[in-house]
Structure 1
Amino acid sequence: MHHDPAESGQLSAVPADPAARHPLPPESPAGPGPAKEARPTAEPVGAGRGKVRDPFFDNAKYLAIVLVALAHSWEPLLASSRPLRALYLTVYAFHMPAFIIISGYFSRTFTLGAPQVRKLITGVAVPYVIFQYAYTLFARLAGPDPVPTWSVLDPWWLNWFLVALFVWRLTTPLWRLVRWPLPLALALATLGSVSPDIGADLDLQRVLQFLPYFVLGLLLHPRHFTLLAHKWPKIVAAPVLLTGFGVAWWLAPRMPYAWLYHRESAQDLGAPWWSGPLMTFTLLAASLVLTAAFLALVPRRTTWFTRLGAGTLGGYLLHGFLIKAADWGGWYGGAFAHSAPGTLLFSAGAGLAVTLLCTPPVRRAFRWALEPRLGWAFGGTPRT
């Protein structure tokens, strides 16, 4: 996700509301409609029908989408504050990896069965087309710069994540089939980092460079997330995140943010080709450590925001309109915006806005775009 940073990545989140018996595709950029660890479902917390969602994943999705919105609200302010740049780098190092890992985890049962492909189309592909057009139209009407002709092959801003999720989901059976899926995914990510000729179509650089996180999620089991609930991970989580912030403070004036967006090759960033593989593995290690620390701090009980985890698709796709409107409307232009109180105000506004966008009323109001009912478009009775 980047504002051109393009991510927001995204994040995942981080797409549509899946049916109760089939956890795919995801409700949000994060991928899952969370459920019992042994068998993910899409039922709301406390819902009937004997299904119970795991609040841990809903909590993680909500907290991650708040971080996505905060990071996006900070981007126009980065030049005026080194602490903010350090915080931005820290958050960007793990919020999309966290979404993508959870997406992979809840994709473990994807087998290209007809009901799953149907949900992938209605929950990921169709929302992508709708929001790709909506953002392009919005940019033409309100943006300060000319916008290219609408193209389904060139994801605009945070829409890249829906394209990536669609591709990753379709390739899930391949990763379940090969003997060494994670090394293969890392090899593809490394090749992407040194291949400037890949081009912008479907944001394939991001599809490749973020791929290892998705494949890692496919390989995880409930016991791996349970490990993070133990005493010591929780004790060291905050010091790990603070250490990450300290490293980011040192890196802030030295490292281009674009390394964390994974949308360009090393050569595109003006670096020698060999820095691509080096940064691929370095950022992977840093992101996994920070993601583990973040997840260790996520509450495992039901909280006031647990239900909001089911609506993070809305938060992810809709908050971008507010961020861009504030930017294009000149809200970041005054001296107050670049002061500490101004930064806090923008942060609070972004957190509140994305929280409201995750609520059930917003989800219902935008169901036609976020979770379209397209049974009429499919013939026959789907069989797995």
Structure 2
Amino acid sequence: MNSAGADIAGPPTGAGSAAKPRRRVPFWDNARYLCIVLVVLGHAIQRLIYDSDIAFAFYLTLYAFHMPAFAIISGYFSKSGSPTKTQMARVITDILVPYVIFELLWTLTKWLVEGQANPNITQPSWTLWFLLALGIFRLVLPYLALLRWPLAWTVLISLGVGYLPNVDSTFSLSRTLGLLPFFALGWWLREHDIVRRFRLLDLRPWWVRAVAIGVIAATGWAAWNWLPVWQAADLRHWLFYEDSYADLGGEQWWAGGVRLALMVLAVVLSTAFFALIPRGTHWWTKFGQYTMYVFLLHSFVLYPFRETGVLRDLEPTWLWLPLVTVLSVLVALALATAPVRRVFRPLVEPRPKWLFADPALASREGSRNDPTGARRPRR
């Protein structure tokens, strides 16, 4: 279920030819890093949206596609074949164990800061829901791949779960099923070799970038121009894919149509986002290999700002929104640097050999794939 050879590409080698080294495709590292920057940015500006319409519109635009885009990338580097023992062990070491570790850390943090904590491993804290979602995605993918029209089934599942109020945030199941079509779409694109066949990483004429900028800009303008409508409809929480339609005020039979429209919008915006991502290698490209460090650690960096309210009542918006944006990029950079990785590797990439009957399954040797499919050498 983990990707073999993720991020790398190379010509096939014939029986009589010498094997050629496979190379990384920098686009995917760029895409991962920019996605995680958007995740950090979305969380950072959350406190600004109560006092600034521009910040709220920016927030809605981000949340319309940034997690679906991340799910698409993760699905692209997932395999649907029968997992090997090593791949099964990776689900435990790369997803389940870090989830437990960081849930315990959040419980301790809340107890120290707030003086109270309610340990409940079935209710993911803040960003940890996506870690569980990745685990569930990978577990169900081999079964989805057996079906005819797997994408259609995942869309039906996502739409249908909104009608079931008993499917809630326990083990992040509501969000997981809600975002499942995007993960399946990423897998489908890889399964059918769409990116290579249509040379999507090679051909990018100027008008494609112009259209992509126009699509995102138009979405941002619509979010700002009709902001009172979106606030009245509680669009922000619709974009979380977490609550049932009834909880969102959508008791009507056609409420699923709203989610379907948002899913189409997410695919369109994700496509525009991917069209704008640089194809070449840059000094920051390597940080795309370490998105899980940023994902798991940035919430602890933002926690003091979230709880103290220092990001409230910040005016003027033209100053603070760009400043928070720049700081979000810097946080994403800092948390992916070597010193941070060295300190937090036992938490983010644990290898509990004692947990396995065969300790070799938790070995640190060889290459490493994180839950989003980023492949890198293991030190």
Aligned to 1:34: 7
Instruction: Give, in angstroms, the shift of residue 71 of structure 1.
Output: 1.1
Instruction: Give, in angstroms, the shift of residue 233 of structure 1.
Output: 2.8
**Could you report, residue by residue, the CA deviation over 1:26-80 in whole angstroms, capped at 9, with x for unpaired residues?**
xxxxxx95222889xxxxxxxxx93432110100010111111111111111022
Quick one: which of 269, 280, 287 aligns to 1:290? 269
Q: In 1, distance between residues paired with 2:354 and 2:213?
A: 50
Query: 1:181–1:38: structure 2 CA closer, same or farther, 3 Å change rule?
Result: farther
Report which stretch shifted further, 227-236 or 239-248: 227-236
Q: Give structure 2 stretches of 5+ with no counterpart.
A: 13-19, 362-379
Structure 1 length-normalised TM: 0.83
Larger Rg: 2
Aligned to 2:300: 321
1:115 aligns with 2:56: no
1:200 aligns with 2:173: no
Aligned to 1:14: none
1:23 aligns with 2:16: no
Report which stretch shifted further, 359-368 or 219-228: 219-228
Instruction: Give, in angstroms, the shift of residue 378 of structure 1.
Output: 2.2
Aligned length: 343
1:230 aligns with 2:204: yes
1:342 aligns with 2:317: no
Aligned to 1:141: 112
Aligned to 1:57: 28
Q: In 2, distance between residues paired with 1:67 and 1:219?
A: 24
Query: 1:56–1:150: structure 2 CA closer, same or farther, 3 Å change rule?
Result: same
Q: In 2, distance between residues paired with 1:38 and 1:209?
A: 37
Aligned to 1:71: 42
The answer on whether the counterparts of 1:78 and 1:85 sit within 8 Å (CA) in structure 2 is yes
Q: In 1, distance between residues paired with 2:3 and 2:338?
A: 19
| Partner AA of 1:180 in structure 2 | W
| Partner AA of 1:316 in structure 2 | F
1:168 aligns with 2:147: no
CA-atom RMSD in angstroms: 2.3
Q: In 2, distance between residues paired with 1:91 and 1:330?
A: 22
Q: In 1, distance between residues paired with 2:47 and 2:11?
A: 42
RCO comparison, higher one (Cα < 8 Å, 6+)? 2
Q: In 1, distance between residues paired with 2:11 and 2:112?
A: 47
1:183 aligns with 2:152: yes
| Partner AA of 2:175 in structure 1 | R
| Partner AA of 1:328 in structure 2 | E
Query: 1:52–1:174: structure 2 CA closer, same or farther, 3 Å change rule?
Result: same
1:361 aligns with 2:339: yes
Q: In 2, distance between residues paired with 1:301 and 1:115?
A: 32
Aligned to 1:8: none
**1:264 partner SS:** coil
The answer on whether the counterparts of 1:76 and 1:332 sit within 8 Å (CA) in structure 2 is yes
Query: 1:284–1:357: structure 2 CA closer, same or farther, 3 Å change rule?
Result: same
| Partner AA of 1:230 in structure 2 | R
| Partner AA of 1:351 in structure 2 | V
Q: In 2, distance between residues paired with 1:154 and 1:327?
A: 20
The answer on whether the counterparts of 2:55 and 2:317 sit within 8 Å (CA) in structure 1 is no
